[in-house]
A = this chain, B = another copy of it.
Amino acid sequence: MELLLRSPLDMHLHLREGALLSLVAPFSARAFAGAVVMPNLVPPVDNLARLRAYRAAIADAVAPYAFTPYMTLFFRPYDEATLAAARAAIIGVKLYPEGVTTNSAEGVRDLEAVEATLTLLERLGIPLLVHGESHGFVLDREAEFLPVYARWAERFPRLTIVMEHITTAAALEVLDAYPNLAATVTLHHLLITLDDVAGGLLNPHLFCKPIAKRPADRDALRAAALRAHPRLMFGSDSAPHPVERKEAAGCAAGVFSAPVLLPLLAGLFASHGALANLQAFVSDNARRIYGITPPDRTITLIHKPWTVPERCGDVVPFYAGQRLEWQVVDPLASAAIAGPGAAIQRGSAPHNPDAQP
């Protein structure tokens, strides 16, 4: 049994830099025609010179796959000339409130003060991508930010605002209320809840920001994805950290899902009889919302079990050691499992069996 996807897109991805970029980028490039690349590096990607250098490094890391990195600029109070100059090189500007997630120390402190820049973005037709969390109690942060989305959506009706990695049923309601809002949702937030992170033993490899929420939230997100909600896009938020930063006294937030995204999505959609909607969720919605034309690639998945490696280099992937039903056929290799250049270490099964779709 085969499943063909036309130019799948990962609309929220962390590719890192240096050796980690070289390690993780091929996993995305093998299965996707492009991805929105997040700018929260240290220092952030906040100027065109840095952006071009980063895009070149990504191009090296993903070669020879036909893979477009859709670049983003880290939100600053840019002037109009700067934004106009950047426009052709970016898919949008990514806004982080200060300190809400990995490498967001240089984020926005005063959400009222950004509106001059939003006016420019709206005028220039540059989408605004937002990490929408407050500084409140960890489970309430997304809900507390929702009024900001509503306010901006009303004040800037021609600005495309993307609610990144939504995790709650409440976020879907706000999405539905404003036509200029769009959203991404990750694979892991379609599969896990806080119970998978902290309900049994604590699992640092499932710890991410925004943190996984309640079963009712997961179910609402899943229902929206399975019906290919027209303003909901797939964005993995795959965020690799070396194992020594995860199994540690201070564990960094992020789930490294790049090696398993399409296999798990195919399994989820198939188990709900919704495979016909997967194309829209992983590609068509994003093309329409952003008006982009990714490289024309057909990605083939075959229904053939494989076991996710325990490690990809020094990074533990999502579903490490677990058996998946679908796999991506690597267009460059007969081996369907590993990305090129990735050091793979096989092993036996761990945690989190409940999250298997």
What residues make up the interface of A, taking CB atoms closer than 8 Å to B? 137-139, 193-195, 197-205, 207, 211, 214-215, 246-253, 316, 350-351
User: Are the CB atoms of B138 and A198 closer together than 8 Å?
Assistant: yes
CB nearest to A245 among chain B residues: B201
Do A194 and B137 form a contact, CB below 8 Å, given A202-B207, A204-B202, A204-B204?
yes
Copies of this chain, complex-wide, total: 2
A194 vs B138: C-alpha distance when bound (angstroms): 7
Cβ–Cβ < 8 Å partners of A214 in chain B: 137, 139
User: Are the CB atoms of A215 and B247 closer together than 8 Å?
Assistant: no
Cβ–Cβ < 8 Å partners of A139 in chain B: 139, 194, 214
A210 vs B298: C-alpha distance when bound (angstroms): 48
Among B195, B202, B248, point to the contact of A253 (Cβ < 8 A).
B202
User: Are the CB atoms of B138 and A199 closer together than 8 Å?
Assistant: yes
A306 vs B251: C-alpha distance when bound (angstroms): 27
20 sample A-B contacts, Cβ–Cβ < 8 Å, listed by A number? A137-B194, A137-B195, A137-B199, A137-B214, A137-B215, A138-B195, A138-B198, A138-B199, A139-B194, A198-B198, A201-B250, A201-B251, A201-B252, A202-B204, A203-B249, A203-B250, A204-B249, A246-B249, A247-B248, A250-B351
Cβ–Cβ < 8 Å partners of A197 in chain B: 198
A316 vs B200: C-alpha distance when bound (angstroms): 21
CB nearest to A200 among chain B residues: B250
9 closest Cβ pairs, A-B complex: A202-B251, A201-B250, A138-B199, A202-B207, A138-B195, A247-B248, A247-B247, A202-B204, A138-B198
Cβ–Cβ < 8 Å partners of A247 in chain B: 247-249
User: Are the CB atoms of B137 and A193 closer together than 8 Å?
Assistant: yes
A210 vs B139: C-alpha distance when bound (angstroms): 17
